[in-house]
């Protein structure tokens, strides 16, 4: 069973792979801080045993270890689907709107209920949206100057487009900003939730209309976008930070938890805890020299 183990460390110290029993056939330096090890495991049990060690090893050596099957999709991804909040951008839009409306405490209390499993995402979204009734419909335009893109987001998307990838943002946030992010980054698709606007077009009604983009909907949209482009989901990568991204990651051929919540890091196929999204290219198998050429 052939796998590639990508090791991205923030220090020069690395584990003693031989002592860990990792059957390395070949090591390739992608940069001075990233290596790939081609490994062959005897069976699924051996793969599972090594995967179980990854969180402890990552914590002990201050870096990220990613294990993925070495097959024809490894350096041949065709679709990349991103979460928006805390992934492509550094903020949570609902919190920004709540601050604008001076209802941060109420929104945070609802978020806490959802995080503790007391209410599901759909109910959480509806409750939080109801607190936004009466806010000027121009709120999204007002927020744009304060949006901070995650370092490396523009560069990653530019490189992926050069590689021929279809790119999408699928967000539990809201359509106006998802479409704006799509335009700013040159993405192909943007899906998010729609907040109803009053008939005179002046204020938010506090209602969510249409399909809610929850965990299952995100996975459905990934499969839909893949089908529309004649692609198998096996050639897709899903990148996000929240629990509602895990189903989408499972639907894709591969998933990356980017600076994610602890539970997501535990369950995602791969984790990346670096300051820049551009490091995703290392996980996809591209060296620093190849990255520079893509961005030239």
**DSSP SS3 for 62:** coil
Pair 79, 165: CB distance under 8 Å: yes
Q: How far apart are CA 20 and CA 270, in angstroms?
A: 20
Listing DSSP states for 33-56 in one string gives: TEEEEEEE-SSHHHHHHHHHHHHH
Listing DSSP states for 63-132 in one string gives: EEEEEEE-STTTT---EEEE-TBTTTBSS-HHHHHHHHHT-HHHHHHHHHHHHTTSS-HHHHHHHHHHTT
Beta bridge partners of 203: 136
Beta-strand relationship, 24-31 and 34-40: antiparallel
**DSSP SS3 for 201:** coil
Pair 150, 239: CB distance under 8 Å: no
Q: Which residues are catalytic?
A: 83, 85
Written as six digits, the tokens of 176 are 């106006």
DSSP state of 150: P
Please, how many CA atoms are within 13 Å of residue 227, restricted to the half-sphere of its CB? 7
């Amino acid at each position: 069973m052939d796998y590639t183990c990508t090791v991205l460390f923030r220090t020069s110290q690395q584990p003693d792979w031989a002592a860990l029993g990792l059957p390395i056939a070949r090591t390739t330096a992608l940069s001075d801080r990233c290596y790939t090890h081609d490994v062959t495991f005897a069976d699924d049990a051996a793969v599972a045993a090594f995967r179980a060690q990854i969180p402890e090893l990552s914590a002990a050596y201050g870096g990220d270890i990613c294990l993925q099957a070495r097959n024809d999709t490894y350096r041949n991804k065709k679709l990349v689907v991103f979460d928006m909040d805390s992934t492509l951008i550094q903020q949570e839009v609902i919190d920004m709107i709540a601050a604008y409306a001076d209802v941060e405490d109420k929104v945070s209390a609802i978020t806490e209920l959802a995080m503790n499993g007391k209410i599901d995402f759909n109910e959480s979204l509806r409750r939080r949206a109801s607190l936004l009734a009466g806010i000027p419909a121009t709120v999204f335009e007002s927020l744009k100057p304060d949006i901070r893109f995650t370092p490396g987001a523009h560069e990653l998307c530019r490189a992926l487009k050069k590689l021929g990838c279809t790119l999408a943002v699928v967000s539990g946030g809201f359509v106006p900003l998802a479409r704006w992010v799509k335009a700013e980054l040159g993405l192909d698709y943007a899906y998010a939730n729609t907040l109803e606007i009053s008939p005179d077009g002046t204020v938010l009604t506090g209602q969510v209309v249409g399909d809610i983009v929850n965990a299952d909907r995100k996975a459905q949209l990934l499969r839909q976008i893949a089908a529309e482009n004649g692609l198998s989901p096996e050639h897709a990568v899903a990148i996000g930070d929240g629990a509602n991204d895990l189903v989408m990651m499972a639907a894709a051929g591969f998933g990356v938890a980017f600076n994610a919540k602890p539970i997501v890091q535990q369950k995602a196929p791969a984790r990346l805890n670096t300051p820049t999204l551009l490091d995703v290219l290392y996980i996809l198998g591209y060296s620093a020299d190849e990255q520079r050429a893509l961005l030239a």
